Structure 1
């Protein structure tokens, strides 16, 4: 009886860990090898391509019927979260139809977006002109600020012991 209980706990623990590492975005029909820098250099060929990009939010602006996020791109790790230990890959704009709360989508927050490249938009970084690849967002993930957990994975295990005197 005790062995089957331990086996059940081990199986549940392994399943819980596996669920935490499952990528959120499906990758079928997505060009995983295209970076913002490549899109910027070859937009005429890549326009309409589905991409999966992530990074840190530099700026968030609500428009009349959409929200624009300026994102400093980083490669994604195995959980599809931006890997800030790697060099950045340029900047891009993510356009989300509708309203996103810019207090939540604040500068410095990590985000991953899946969407379609719709062209380039000219802008400025400080006093320098910059061409931003634009992604029309299909799906978006705002990551928790705690780097130790994936979204929805607040799995903790502990044993409480109280000693009285």
Structure 2
């Protein structure tokens, strides 16, 4: 009986170790505000935000990531469909980051401190972005949709007369 319990614990441990977990650079307890709730009083607060990467904007001395915020799940990945409308924010880091390394429309989670606010135009509208001083960024792999039933059920599954073959 002891051996069975040990084997069961070993198998469960191995199965759970394969489950998704938060990437190392994103771990930590972040209790800061969401992008839509950020104010000047929150400058200097460490946060973990994420969403859909809209654009990577290399500038002379820094690179900014424009992100449409979405809620994060329990492993810090942006959820596909959010109940709240997203707000745009900027995550900027010093130096150059190649836009080709960050595919547009991918899921991204960033960690850093709120460093201020910046007004930029979206069309003819002046939009006020919260700006995050970027410490770490994680691009998530594309979500795969798996069909749970790739084959049709066997004929006997839906044929009530399968026991009476061959038919007359």
Q: TM-score, normalised by structure 1?
A: 0.74
Q: Does 1:63 align with 2:64?
A: no
Distance 1:130 1:46 in 2: 19
Cα RMSD over matched residues? 2.2
Match of 2:126 among 113, 126, 129: 129
Aligned CA distance change for structure 1 residues 117 and 7 (closer, same or farther; 3 Å) = closer
Match of 1:47 among 43, 48, 51: 43
**Is contact 1:117–1:136 with CA below 8 Å preserved after alignment?**
yes
Q: TM-score, normalised by structure 2?
A: 0.73
Distance 1:59 1:110 in 2: 12
**Is contact 1:75–1:88 with CA below 8 Å preserved after alignment?**
no
The residue aligned with 1:90 is 87
Match of 1:13 among 15, 25, 28: 15
**Is contact 1:53–1:112 with CA below 8 Å preserved after alignment?**
yes
Match of 1:76 among 72, 79, 83: 72
**Where does the alignment leave 5 or more consecutive residues of structure 2 unmatched?**
146-168
Q: Number of paired residues?
A: 140
The residue aligned with 2:155 is none
